[in-house]
Amino acid sequence: MIHRECGVLKTTYEADMALYPLPIARWTVAAIAVLMFVVLPLSVHEYYLSIVNLVSISIVGALGLNILVGYTGQISIGHGAFMSVGAYTAANFAVRLGFPFWLALPLGGLMAAAVGAVVGIPSLRIKGLYLAIATLAGQLLIEWTINHVPFISGGVQASIQVPRPELFGYQIASQRQMYFFLLIFVVLALVATLNLVRSRIGRAFIAIRDHDIAAEIIGVNIFRYKLLAFAISSFYAGVTGVLYTYYQGIANYEQFQIVTSIDYLAMIIVGGLGSVLGSVFGAAFVTLLPIGIRYAMEASGGLLFSEAAVRNIIPNLRLVLFGALIIFFLVVEPEGLNRLWRNIRNYFRLWPFAY
């Protein structure tokens, strides 16, 4: 975030690895917390909060995928399917056994973690392209299974309605309540990820990403850490699926198809691979992009095109811009929005006394 490091001298490794790199960072974090928990929900209309809620859900998923792709260097095109595993697990527990929300959510996450670890097994033998294709196969096979096994999918439409989440006897119904509810999970996910990547496990992940054979030689247990990366990442994905299910009130596999996997990959690439803040930027950007296009086209598209043409243009323009953005960031700014943010910050570090 925005701070200057003038007059700060670190003398221990602990200080260097601390969650708050500078004393003033505590105040920035506190200010953002006040903004998010008090100012924003009190000042913004419910509709906009519902958009923020979508961003919140994506942040959790993007963080999870970034642990796998950005930090461990293993690609996964199957995260949409892991989300559906979490969603259907939680929905089945909630509807058939009447499990409350706070039990169904971790169960969904754990089930997704288990499935994710199984899909990740090929990563021990293959990597790069082969792993991408293996996870793609995982995505298609999980989609097919959910679609064809009524026990999981709950009938013809392959969708299960879930009750509204309840915490301490207090039902979460409106978007405003949902906002606080989701924000708690975003905070949990952020803190967990920040702590994970500066711990022993996170260091092992980064070693594997930079060179897996070299990492193995210096004593990182590749088998354990690769599967752990898949499991943790899929746990996040499962939780994302559960949150989305509760947000929508329905578990439906159509929300978790391969397009979703690609959306999340786009988030972390646009945001910045291997960066927590980048995941947040990317999640916000990719979620807001289609909404922005819809607004722009509905407002001004009618001037140039007929109404039917506008309806054709909106989803396709979204696809084109979306793909073009991925390519643009990969070619021009591989470190993503996070890098742009750092450039801005570095510019203002010595401002106005830059020399």
Partner 1 sequence: MGDWGFFVLLLSNGVLIGLMYSLIALGFVLVYKATDAINFAQGEFVMIAGWGVAAAMALYGAPLWLAVAAGLGGMIGFGFGLERVVLRPLIGRPIVAVIMATIGLAAVLRGLGPLLWGAETRALPLPIGDSPIVWGPLFIPPIQLLGAAVSLLFLAAFGWFFLKSRKGIAMRAVADSQQVAMAMGINVERYFGLAWAMAGVVSTLGGIIWGSLLGVDAHLALVGFKVFPVVILGGLDSIPGAIIGGLIVGLVENVAAGYLDPLVGGGTKDFAPYLLMIVALMVRPYGIFGKPTIERV
Q: Can residue 132 be called a binding residue for partner 1 (CB under 8 A)? A: yes
Stretch that binds partner 1, among 53-61, 153-161, 164-172, 265-273 (CB under 8 A): 265-273
Q: Can residue 191 be called a binding residue for partner 1 (CB under 8 A)? A: no
From candidates 59, 62, 75, 232, binder to partner 1 by CB under 8 A? 75
Characterize 102-125 residue by residue with b for buried, 16 or more Cβ atoms within 10 angstroms of its Cβ, and e for exposed. Answer: eebbbbbbbbbbbbbbebbebbee
Report the distance separating Cα 253 and Cα 147, nearest Å.
8
Burial (Cβ within 10 Å: 0-12, 13-18, ≥19) of residue 290: middle
Nearest Cα to Cα of residue 289 among 325, 328, 331, 240: 325
Q: Count the neighbouring beta carbons within 10 Å of the beta carbon of residue 93.
A: 20
Chain position carrying tokens 């996997």 = 261
From candidates 157, 312, 343, 346, binder to partner 1 by CB under 8 A? 312
Chain position carrying tokens 């691979």 = 273
Closest to partner 1 by CB, 49 or 75: 75
Q: Can residue 205 be called a binding residue for partner 1 (CB under 8 A)? A: no
Q: Can residue 133 be called a binding residue for partner 1 (CB under 8 A)? A: yes
Q: Can residue 154 be called a binding residue for partner 1 (CB under 8 A)? A: no
Report the distance separating Cα 219 and Cα 216, nearest Å.
5
Nearest Cα to Cα of residue 278 among 22, 18, 52, 66: 66
From candidates 162, 232, 269, 337, binder to partner 1 by CB under 8 A? 269
Distance of CA 244 to the CA centre of its chain: 12
Closest to partner 1 by CB, 17 or 214: 214
Nearest Cα to Cα of residue 108 among 139, 125, 87: 87
Q: Can residue 51 be called a binding residue for partner 1 (CB under 8 A)? A: no
Q: In this structure, are residues 84 and 143 in contact, taking their beta carbons and an 8 Å threshold?
A: yes
Q: Can residue 302 be called a binding residue for partner 1 (CB under 8 A)? A: no
Q: Can residue 148 be called a binding residue for partner 1 (CB under 8 A)? A: yes
Q: What is the DSSP letter of 253?
A: G
Report the distance separating Cα 120 and Cα 73, nearest Å.
13
From candidates 7, 169, 316, 354, binder to partner 1 by CB under 8 A? 316
Could you say which residues in the range 216-235 bind partner 1, by CB under 8 A? 217
Could you say which residues in the range 245-264 bind partner 1, by CB under 8 A? 262
From candidates 327, 343, 348, 350, binder to partner 1 by CB under 8 A? 327
* Total chain residues near partner 1 (CB under 8 A): 47
Q: Can residue 265 be called a binding residue for partner 1 (CB under 8 A)? A: yes
Closest to partner 1 by CB, 108 or 301: 301
Nearest Cα to Cα of residue 104 among 241, 234, 230: 241
Would you tell me which residues interact with partner 1 (CB under 8 A)? Answer: 69, 73, 75, 77, 122, 125-126, 128-130, 132-134, 136-137, 140-141, 144, 147-148, 211, 213-214, 217, 262, 265-266, 269, 273, 312-313, 315-327, 330-331, 334
